[in-house]
Structure 1
């Protein structure tokens, strides 16, 4: 999330066909992770794993798309429910990952959530209870163009933004997590410079990726009750608001702040992360959590995953994937349980 640091059945309501006009731009050739990190999953490999989960658990999981990236990649979503083909009106939970291209561990986190909730359903009573009582949505890669570019050329590119060229500039890319519409550009928590890593774009929701995911959330509101957006790194649990240092302000009562704080602290107690309001770190505006809460009162958090440092810690070895994704299992369960 933060640039200086050491989240089957095709649903017509989430089709992305109307989000992009004209032919998709040319993509870079598919790449793999650098030697030694092949345990990470490329976009194609993630897609294959999701298709496998759906094929193995067709009564529990279904694939759809919430739209397309700038380069035409599907923004794949997985629905997990005990009656996946039905719309039961149960409270819904959303997990999003990889808004920032170089934060590949987050895609592994979302993939792990899908695999755990589907493969564990038959044998784990806790998982069964959570799935039976909720509809769970997982979007493993909000920024597939950026994440594929980040592993191009045989090495990491340290790329953060998406890949849409900035009109009138030689720069490429907008920071998707500064492009959301609530308090966009309000409070010196993003940049107007296209060359900046926190460039917020020319307008709120200027990017096809944020438009697609926001329209999906709008279409499911008010049923979506809880949300985590996974990032790396710093081992933090963060809650809104990011645009102001105030705990209580327009759109946030003391009671609401207390609940966000309580749930955040309980989740952090399970994984050893530090829990704090987002703005206690520094100000951000136009981020996904402020929009989720400010627009829909969704109980929403950012998880900054492993490691804590030193800078730059965006590329932990693939040997750490299993440990650092399972580390969040209990926190994920708490969040699902809070969706009511």
Structure 2
């Protein structure tokens, strides 16, 4: 069975067809919360990257991966298909029931746009926007809020720039932090807000912060996917929603233009949680952010030199490439790969995450990190934040009490990347 699983994974990689033909896709209607009869499972036996890619490519929703075990959401047909090729699956719960339990039971009101009771310290889109505007007002010489474009449903994709001469485009390295590409990963928005608060509130009292702000231009985009994030909490009840809100949803982190759909690391089925969209940058959110990054080429030189895209969960520091198992590939020399490794490992020593190349987890294509590096030579990482393992859906919805601890945990990591950007 082991050989058969690996062969299937390799075939998917070679043909780009994935395992969607092996596992029947869930039949989903546009804009529904969840597909019926979906279970949450622990998949055992996914011990290497080819096997994990086979699981991810089957159309299941991968929640987390640790120590050879993957936690996934799967339909009965998908679960049967994985068992048929030799994986062991243990069901740990029902998707809807687990979401309802984590949300505290019944929703408050279908019209309420807020987090479930007990999680009010997380920021809604309106609260996030107000926080950014208040920061720009309170620190007018340091912070300026703009927009890189609009989401599918018309929400502004807010960007805040932090610099000692914020009104001037200085000849300094720019570092971009993006959060909330995946809707249900709300802790990441709090991470971006932590960066904003720390480098503005701390400027006058912390010499290390002042030095970084004086020598860098810090760019923070706290929600790349505001439509999906708002939908995920609508009615005061979590929905486990990952994608944007365009039709049945596109996975923004499979929609970027480099090696889009190339290598079995995304799905062509609109019902899949890793649906890559009909074409690269078909999602207005990824198109807007990529256009902004493209616009930072000034005088033939890309001003953004480093980037972190924050996700949850598994406590990992990941670097390109995701589309290939190889450490080096066209566009990345051995020296460049070694720099990714060295900086990534230094970062991981500061926050206790596990450092690895993205494809060591499983193959992905059309990801933001691969595009940032291949298109612009930006030193681009993904952080998979707290928790290390989630016990199912709870990994995406840690209690709001952990926000201060788990965002501050990355202070030194953020500083390390800012220094490396020089």
CA deviation string 1:122-181 (max 9, x = no partner)? 01010000000010100000000000000012210000000011xxxxxx1000000000
For the residue of structure 2 that corresponds to 1:154, the secondary structure is: coil
CA distance in 2, matches of 1:331, 1:300: 13
Q: Which residue pairs with 2:47 in the alignment?
A: none
CA distance in 2, matches of 1:98, 1:250: 29
> Which structure has more RCO (C-alpha within 8 Å, separation ≥ 6)?
1
TM-score (norm 1): 0.90
For the residue of structure 2 that corresponds to 1:188, the secondary structure is: coil
Which of 13, 19, 38 is 2:120 aligned to? 38
For the residue of structure 1 that corresponds to 2:287, the secondary structure is: helix
Q: Which residue pairs with 2:78 in the alignment?
A: none
Query: Displaced runs of 4+ in structure 1, greater than 4 A?
Result: none
Q: Which residue pairs with 1:140 in the alignment?
A: 222
Q: Which residue pairs with 1:13 in the alignment?
A: none
Determine if the alignment matches structure 1 residue 197 to structure 2 residue 256. Answer: no
CA deviation string 1:301-326 (max 9, x = no partner)? 00000001122210000000000000
Please list, as runs of the form range in 1=range in 2, the aligned pairs for 1:32-181 lying within 5 A after superposition: 32-165=114-247, 172-181=248-257
For the residue of structure 1 that corresponds to 2:63, the secondary structure is: coil
For the residue of structure 2 that corresponds to 1:153, the secondary structure is: coil
- Structure 1 residue 87, shift from structure 2 partner: 1.1
Does the 8 Å CA contact 2:112/2:235 hold for their aligned counterparts?
Answer: no
Q: Which residue pairs with 2:368 in the alignment?
A: 288
- Structure 1 residue 339, shift from structure 2 partner: 1.0
CA distance in 2, matches of 1:4, 1:46: 25
Which of 381, 389, 392 is 1:311 aligned to? 392
Does the 8 Å CA contact 1:81/1:134 hold for their aligned counterparts?
Answer: yes
- Structure 1 residue 30, shift from structure 2 partner: 5.6
What runs of 5+ residues in structure 1 fail to find an aligned partner?
Answer: 7-27, 166-171
Does the 8 Å CA contact 1:30/1:148 hold for their aligned counterparts?
Answer: no
Instruction: Give the total of aligned pairs.
Output: 313
TM-score (norm 2): 0.73
Q: Which residue pairs with 1:209 in the alignment?
A: 285
Structure with greater Cα Rg: 2
CA deviation string 1:287-308 (max 9, x = no partner)? 0000000110100000000001
- TM-align CA RMSD: 1.2
Q: Which residue pairs with 2:359 in the alignment?
A: 279
CA deviation string 1:95-119 (max 9, x = no partner)? 0000000000000000010000000
Q: Which moved more, 1:308-317 or 1:182-191?
A: 308-317
Q: Which residue pairs with 2:259 in the alignment?
A: 183
CA distance in 1, matches of 2:202, 2:281: 37
CA distance in 1, matches of 2:136, 2:249: 33
